[in-house]
A and B are shown apart, each in its own frame.
Chain A
Amino acid sequence: MANSSEKRPSRGALALLSERTIESLIYVCGFSAIIFVFGIFFFVFKEGAPFLTKLNFTEFFFSKEWIPTSTVQPKYGIGALIVGTVSVTVVAMAIAVPFGLGAAVFVSEFCTGKVKESLKIIIELLAAVPSVVWGFIGLSVMSPVIIAVFHVPVGVNLFNAALLLALMSVPIMVSIGEDALKAVPDSYREAAVALGATRWQMVYRVLIPAARNGLLAAVLLGVGRAIGETMAVLMATGHAVNIPDSLFDPVRTLTATIAAELGETSHGSDHYQVLFLIGVVLFSITFVVNLTADLVVKGIRKG
């Protein structure tokens, strides 16, 4: 800053200009997140849009025939892929929700000091393992184990992928769930303890009802993560277009289909455009899930 006092009122025009510049740059960057969200929708939609005119919506969403490479009569029905995504997500959540929320309760209420710190660090590291490594684990570690334990012919199937997705979405549930429990005022805990409640009674009579919304948001974010996961499900589901009858059937998901097939399509072909439309579907699903989670979290802040 200028130190001569007579110059004080007018800091150099240059300084003022550069400050203006940097401030407008800051505004632009702040705005960038909005631009990118719209940009993602715009570009994904733009690449897929030409096919909309040829698209039969009922067939697209409900037919289970996905035969995009047929030279005679290609069929673009994503019904089986939607069922695949939904079934993997549901099974994964059935495993992850109890474990994730249970671990969140344990980290937040049942342990302190060193144990708590190291558990949080381990969960953070768990979240950092890349999804392709999870896929590799499914392919080469879990698959033989599943074959040996459940006596099924193929180890890469719905259950394998769901197990991986559960392990992958637990960290986000734990950290958001723990935040939600931490947000419950300590006076609630003190009141419960003063009435003679044990910690367990306090957890399920006071904390869980009080943190209900935050825990729901944690689950929703886990669901969002599971729906959007690509590499792990590509490698561990078996990647067969199939409506599963049992836990050990191979399935195929929306995300994995895009990842596996886009590289082999030519720019602008029907198949290429349909894959982008699947992208639009995925974007819309996760957008709704995340928006709901956000509104639910806002709900706690107000209430």
Chain B
Amino acid sequence: MFTETPFIRRKRRAERIAQCFFAGMAAAMVIPLFLIIGYIVIKGAPAISWEFLTENPRSGGAKGGIWAAIVGTFYIVFFSLAVSAPIGVLAAVYLSEYARENWFTRMVHLAVVNLAGVPSIVHGLFGVGAFVYFANFNDGKKSIIAAALTLAVMTLPVIITSTKEALAAVPRQFREACWNVGATRWQTIWRIVLPNSISGILTGVILQVSRTAGETAPVMLTGVATYKLLESTGLFLYHPIRDQCMALSMHLYYIATQANNVPAATPYAIATVLVGVVLVVNAAAIVFRIYLRSRKKW
């Protein structure tokens, strides 16, 4: 062993300080998250009951539960996914399997990057101009379909990016082997590339669900009402074209800022449900991904 000169000692000390410093930086972001989420859950959990989840809101949201908002969020997520998942997957197939290195492909890449960067409120304005007034689904009024389409455009980059990664993870040899036995490009994609990347694609779709469920600003301009009095509590509360719906995210905003006489615990309970949904969905995607990585065959 060599002896420790002052120079080396100083170097070691700098190293230790740096390590603690960077660890502190990372901890400074992670710990507040736990504290805040923990605080919300502790304050909100007592107010969550079966009735809270399955009853419609009453008295302007002051009484009753959040069922109408849960169903509304489900509607929006469902319709938006039904539109954006196929388009996004096919767009990723184009980028990963068909696109050549030329200016057009670069434009598409640039468009995807910029689409992801457009502020959510501008997506909302686009939805108002394009789907509420131009497409005019509901006579110039907000509607679920307008909100769902707005979110579909907005979350398109999420699915394109994740699907592209999933497709890129399929080794090139698989494709070459398939071409060599005489398969066409599409046959290769359909029989080899997609089956081998379906799990990665699904992970992207799951992440998209969580992103869609939490969005507020665009849907509040295009299809979500702050409060809606509903009689029934079934699954089919809304007409997708003629109705506006309630949504969990908007309901939290409304209860936290505008509603009167709301019990103090209610907004915390809604926040707990919303965060719970989003985190569970994300955690599911992560577990799914880890599981897939562990059983990858190549």
Q: Which residues of A contact B (CB under 8 A)?
A: 1, 19, 22-23, 25-27, 29-34, 36-37, 39-40, 43-44, 46-47, 98-100, 102-103, 105-107, 109-111, 119, 121-126, 128-133, 135-137, 139-141, 167, 170, 174, 198-201, 203, 221, 224-225, 227-231, 234-235, 255, 258-259, 262-263, 267, 275-276, 279, 282-283, 286-287, 289-291, 293-294
Contacts and interface: CB of A to CB of B under 8 A. Distances in A.
A289 B113 CA distance: 11
A128 B40 contact: no
Contacts of A34: 107-108, 111
A36 B11 contact: no
A157 B156 CA distance: 34
Interface centre among A25, A33, A267, A291 (most CB of B within 10 A): A33
A290 B160 CA distance: 17
A107 B25 CA distance: 10
A119 B267 contact: no
Contacts of B268: 140
Contacts of A137: 36, 40
B47 interface: no
B192 interface: no
B128 A262 contact: yes
Contact of B94 (A29, A199, A286): A29
Contacts of B88: 29
Interface string B115-139: 1111111111110111001100000
Contacts of B129: 43-44, 46-47, 276
Interface string B88-111: 101101110011000000011011
B148 to A, nearest CB: 15
Nearest to B187: A1
Contacts of B283: 125
B157 interface: yes
B91 A33 contact: yes
B112 interface: yes
B15 interface: yes
A44 B274 CA distance: 30
A15 to B, nearest CB: 9
A244 B61 CA distance: 35
B114 interface: yes
B275 interface: yes
Contacts of B94: 26-27, 29-30
Contacts of A276: 125, 129
B19 A103 contact: no
Interface in B4-33: 11-12, 14-15, 17-19, 21-23, 25-26, 28-30, 32-33
23 contacts: A23-B98, A23-B186, A33-B91, A33-B156, A33-B157, A43-B134, A102-B21, A103-B29, A106-B26, A126-B29, A128-B211, A129-B37, A132-B252, A132-B253, A200-B18, A201-B11, A228-B120, A230-B216, A231-B249, A235-B253, A258-B124, A262-B221, A294-B110
Nearest to A204: B18
Nearest to A262: B221
B215 interface: yes
B90 A29 contact: yes
Interface in B128-180: 128-130, 133-134, 140, 153, 156-157, 160
Contacts of B117: 221, 224-225, 228, 286-287, 289-290
A287 B119 CA distance: 10
Contact of B98 (A27, A40, A294): A27
A67 B207 CA distance: 41
Contacts of B241: none
A276 B16 CA distance: 53
Contact of A200 (B19, B183, B274): B19
B282 interface: yes
A37 to B, nearest CB: 5
A103 B22 contact: yes
B125 A47 contact: yes
Contact of B215 (A130, A199, A283): A130
A292 B12 CA distance: 39
Contacts of A267: 133, 140
Interface string B206-239: 0100110111110011000000000000000000
Contact of A290 (B114, B134, B271): B114
B114 A291 contact: yes
Nearest to A108: B22
Interface in B243-296: 249-250, 252-253, 256-257, 267-268, 271, 274-275, 278-279, 282-283, 286
Contact of B33 (A26, A105, A122, A225): A122
B33 A126 contact: yes
B119 A99 contact: no
B78 interface: no
B253 A32 contact: no
A113 to B, nearest CB: 14
A33 B210 CA distance: 21
B210 A128 contact: yes
B84 to A, nearest CB: 10
B70 to A, nearest CB: 15
Contacts of B59: none
By Cβ-Cβ distance, the 8 closest A-B pairs, closest first, are A130-B214, A228-B119, A30-B94, A102-B25, A43-B129, A200-B18, A290-B117, A29-B90
A29 B32 CA distance: 41
